[in-house]
Amino acid sequence: MADSRRGQGRVDYLRLSITDRCNLRCTYCMPPEGVPARSHSEILSYEELAAFARVAAGVGISKVRITGGEPLVRLGCADFVGMLSRTSGVRDISLTTNGLLLPRYAADLAANGLHRVNISLDSLDAERFGRITRGGDVEAALAGLDAAFSAGFSPVKVNTLLLPGVEEELDAFVALIREYDVHVRFIEFMPLDRRVAGGEELGGEGRLLSAGDILSRLAREYDVVGSDGPYGHGPARYWKVAGARGSIGFIAGVSGHFCDSCNRLRLTADGRLRTCLFSGRETDVRPLLADPGALRDAIETAVAGKTFDRCAEGLANDRAMSQIGG
């Protein structure tokens, strides 16, 4: 039943969180003190995560994205990529990272079978980046971008949240895609937890920006044309800027949500299966990992109950983004 369909959607994509820890404290993701610490025994082992992936692949999951928190703060991530690459049915393995540890790990990740990376980079301005991340160094993040290209990942994508102030950096992001064959995706901010992300914390006053706001500005200031985008573009819609090597994309998850074609499942680092980012509905699958038949039934039941409509979920989310896996 993992091939249940609504619209054009097929549930074939798993976002697999391996940790809720992070080496940054981004204002929209977690409180300044971080999330409550979990003991080692509360987090799924790599063997348990791989066991889930094997069963999920048997019911239609072919794409796996490793997330966190920051996945590279967990030791052995590259070896875990190798475990996934040997999983029958898994054809694409990607990773979302803030990039800070890529100079250390990119080569090993590539050698173990990682295909591509998305780097979260919400600002190219040092002061603003430091404010959003509560102390991060934008130059370290850009070193991660260089490491991604050196390791041969393709495509390389940059995820940029549409937080107040980013519109003033449009020229800088256009310069980035002219220098690199990178695909910058502006993503509408989806407020899951107001305890984490208050208006002031987000870095400015006023309403949140929409994809249309930035696209209108881009079209006014640059010669742009629609593009098919890179492999694995998902819900993003891309535009090429004249003379640029890369592209700019937009993910309008709020102003133009794409629930009907959602193809995702999420597994949290503590073993909770989720079918919707916005829902508090979870299935504890950790007790089932030793029983592939029961686990398969649980996955199929979860998919069969997937509403493909976040408004229909009707359950409040009580986790910070870092605890869900994004």
Q: What is the pLDDT of residues 203-225, one digit of tens each?
A: 444 457 899 999 999 999 999 99
Residue 190, token pair as written in the block: 């989806």
User: CA 219, CA 76: separation in Å to the nearest integer?
Assistant: 44
Band the pLDDT of 8: cuts 50, 70, 90.
Answer: very low
Residue 129, token pair as written in the block: 């980046």
> Is the confidence at residue 1, as pLDDT, over 90?
no
Q: What is the pLDDT of residue 205?
A: 41
Q: What is the pLDDT of residue 5?
A: 41
User: For the chain, what is the mean pLDDT?
Assistant: 88
Alpha carbons within 13 A on the beta-carbon side of 148 = 30
User: Can you tell me the mean pLDDT for 159-170?
Assistant: 95
Q: Could you give the angle at which helices 102-111 and 138-150 cross, rounded to 10 degrees?
A: 20
Residue 11, token pair as written in the block: 């549930």
User: CA 56, CA 300: separation in Å to the nearest integer?
Assistant: 9
> Is the confidence at residue 16, as pLDDT, over 90?
yes
Q: What is the pLDDT of residue 271?
A: 97
Band the pLDDT of 293: cuts 50, 70, 90.
Answer: very high
Residues forming beta bridges with residue 187, ordered by sequence position = 161, 251
Contact indicator for 2, 60 with CB cutoff of 8 Å: yes
User: CA 69, CA 21: separation in Å to the nearest integer?
Assistant: 5
> Is the confidence at residue 317, as pLDDT, over 90?
no
Residue 251 parent element (H or E)? strand 247-251
Check the CA dihedral 224-165-140-43 and report its sign: negative
User: Can you tell me the mean pLDDT for 220-236?
Assistant: 86
The percentage of the chain sitting over the pLDDT mark of 90, rounded to a whole number, equals 71
Q: What is the pLDDT of residue 42?
A: 92
Q: What is the pLDDT of residue 321?
A: 61
Reported as a single tens digit per residue, the pLDDT across 72-90 is: 999 999 999 999 999 999 9
Q: What is the pLDDT of residue 10?
A: 85
Alpha carbons within 13 A on the beta-carbon side of 196 = 25
User: CA 128, CA 126: separation in Å to the nearest integer?
Assistant: 6
**Cβ contacts of residue 98 below 8 Å, gap of 6+?**
22, 23, 24, 70, 119, 120, 121, 133, 136, 141, 144
185 vs 8, more confident: 185
Give the domains, in start order, of the chain with CATH numbers.
Answer: 5-324 (3.20.20.70)
Strand extents, DSSP E, 60-109: 63-67, 92-97
